[in-house]
Amino acid sequence: MSDAWEAVEKAGTQTLEALFQAEPDRLSRLTLDENGIRFDFSKTHLTGELVSAFSALAEAQGLAAARDALFSGQIVNVTEGRAAEHTAERGQGAPESVQRAQGFHTRMRALIDAIEAGAFGEIRHVLHVGIGGSALGPDFVIDALGRDEDRYDTAVVSNVDGAALEEAIARFDPKTTLLVIASKTFTTSETMLNAQSALLWMEEGGVADPYGRIVALTASPEKAVEFGVDETRILPFSESVGGRYSLWSSIGFPIALALGWEAFENLLEGAAAMDRHFRLAPPERNAPVLAAFADRYYANVRGAQTRAVFAYDERLRLLPSYLQQLEMESNGKSVTVDGQPVGRATSQITWGGVGTDAQHAVFQLLHQGTHLAPVEFVAAVEPEHGLAFDHHRQLLINCFAQGAALMAGKQSDDPARSYSGDRPSTTILLDRIDPATLGALIAFYEHRTFVNGVLLGINPFDQFGVELGKEIAKSIDAGGLQFDPSTEALIARAFGDAE
Ligand code: F6P
């Protein structure tokens, strides 16, 4: 394994401009068109030699076997003793898992049909409470695809800050609201508190049976029953679907409700098409694999600590937040699957924003700062709006100009006006933002995250790092325990000495 890493570290590269000169086929080799998406890795420092060295590393790390294990429902999440079966939700997995997922989808569809047939009376608003993977996926997809839909007005509320819930319900009528409680474990404190407050709001708003208006999305149906949800309104999903990989499961209920069943099916089918590409394409023509090679090159060979993602499309504005959980919760680890120190940098810090806004805020650092921060541009050829002027053309021009400028740089006699150039970027250009293409894009990111985990030898499917803070919050809430002087002083200042 370390020999393979050594080969990666030793593989030569040149400046991006020199690479374009030296490799006439560079653009075609490092550009892929898959499922309505152009992936352009040519403005990264990946060379033929680097791709070969990374392919050897992938082989040494058992990527093919790990991928087979993932798709066949074997236990890949070893620390929790579970499979990771999100692909089964889109029909790509062990036959029994696919069948099980289809059963859950059938149940979800039947409930949606019942809602549409008026089983809950008139429903105009959907209040979805959930956090992390039980919120970010649905929020991102509905925000991206739901702008033209007037099926239901949907709000996704995650934060325990009551201001978030208050803002969402301010525009809702409790009598026409469906309360969706999304929690894999059905124990997450923020979600449970938001659910309680929403129920009280419904009760105070004159809803005779607020509990009768709940739909629960969970892998712990018994907990939802304990909470008071009728069994017929619980949409279960499998324990082996990880929270941040769960939008394809019953957690996608608000997506299917807001966009319609056909759109949800197309989302799944787009993801399945990317699954097939990931399974079948050789490493040098495999989009998630090449992306992960570039990720590891910058993080482990060039020492980049971050990776910046800019959505050049308002519809994708929630993409950076979605990716932050996917990438950092998956690969922000320090030990390998065997519990040994990884010995090299793991997940980059994913951050980003929306173009062109970000150009007028953070791009200064990207063009002239001292950090190496590989940039990812994500855009779509087809616009959403119907304005007469050429907004979309200007948006795309700006996107392409930034990538070109990062690479080319510009020398000046005045150092303050010089741009070093040779700054890497990847461009992901969607033909259009529709359910199938978005499904493929999200699956691409899932698999890229998985490949990064395999190359590092870590388990991308657990998240023990989030537990300690939760435990301490509970102890503070319970009172009686002593903490460090700073924390004690903050508690006293906020709640009074009585705490
Ligand atoms: O605290 C992190 C986490 O466990 C995430 O992994 C998960 O997506 C989120 O909390 C919500 O968990 P649940 O769906 O069980 O409420």
* Shared-domain flag, residues 316 and 246: no
Express each pLDDT in 92-106 by its tens digit.
999 999 999 999 999
Q: Which pLDDT score, from 0 to 100, does residue 147 have?
A: 63
Domain assignment of residue 386, given as a range: 2-81+267-464
| Number of domains making up the chain | 3
Report residue 488 as tokens.
């004690």
* Ligand 1 centroid to residue 134 C-alpha, Å: 7
* Ligand 1 centroid to residue 491 C-alpha, Å: 26
Q: Which pLDDT score, from 0 to 100, does residue 13 have?
A: 82
* Shared-domain flag, residues 76 and 142: no
Contact between residue 185 and residue 220 where contact means Cβ atoms under 8 Å apart: yes
Express each pLDDT in 386-408 by its tens digit.
887 899 999 999 999 999 999 99
Contact between residue 286 and residue 294 where contact means Cβ atoms under 8 Å apart: no
Considering only residues 371 and 147, tell me which one the structure prediction assigns the higher pLDDT. 371
Ligand 1 mutation pick, 79, 80, 134, max ligand atoms within 8 A of CB: 134
Q: Which pLDDT score, from 0 to 100, does residue 497 have?
A: 62
Ligand 1 mutation pick, 227, 253, 462, 463, max ligand atoms within 8 A of CB: 463
Residue range 196-217: mean pLDDT, rounded: 97
DSSP 416-482: GG-B-----EEEEEES---HHHHHHHHHHHHHHHHHHHHHHT--TT--GGGHHHHHHHHHHHH----
Express each pLDDT in 58-117 by its tens digit.
999 999 999 999 999 999 999 999 999 999 999 999 999 999 999 999 999 999 999 999
Catalytic residue positions, numbered: 329, 360, 470
Q: Which pLDDT score, from 0 to 100, does residue 444 have?
A: 98
Quickly state the pLDDT bin for 351 (edges 50, 70, 90).
Answer: very high
Residue 220 Cα: closest atom of ligand 1: 15
Express each pLDDT in 1-55 by its tens digit.
579 999 999 997 899 999 999 999 999 999 999 999 999 999 999 999 999 999 9
Residue 246 Cα: closest atom of ligand 1: 8
* pLDDT at residue 499 is higher than 90: no
* Shared-domain flag, residues 140 and 54: no
* Shared-domain flag, residues 294 and 361: yes
Which residues, at least 6 apart from 180, have a Cβ–Cβ distance to it below 8 Å? 126, 127, 128, 129, 130, 214, 215, 216, 217, 253, 254
Residue 133 Cα: closest atom of ligand 1: 8
* Shared-domain flag, residues 260 and 287: no
Q: Which helix (H) or strand (E) holds 375?
A: strand 375-380
Q: What is the mean pLDDT of the chain?
A: 96
CA–CA separation, 425 and 367 (whole Å) = 12
* Ligand 1 centroid to residue 133 C-alpha, Å: 6
On the CB side of 442, CA atoms within 13 Å amount to 34
* Shared-domain flag, residues 38 and 127: no
Ligand 1 mutation pick, 185, 193, 237, max ligand atoms within 8 A of CB: 185
CA–CA separation, 158 and 171 (whole Å) = 17
CA–CA separation, 324 and 307 (whole Å) = 10
* Shared-domain flag, residues 482 and 459: no
Q: Which pLDDT score, from 0 to 100, does residue 480 have?
A: 78
To 10 degrees, what angle do helices 287-296 and 48-60 make?
A: 100
* Shared-domain flag, residues 295 and 323: yes
User: In 10 A of CB 376, how many CB atoms?
Assistant: 23
Whose CA is closest to atom 16 on ligand 1?
A: 183
* pLDDT at residue 375 is higher than 90: yes
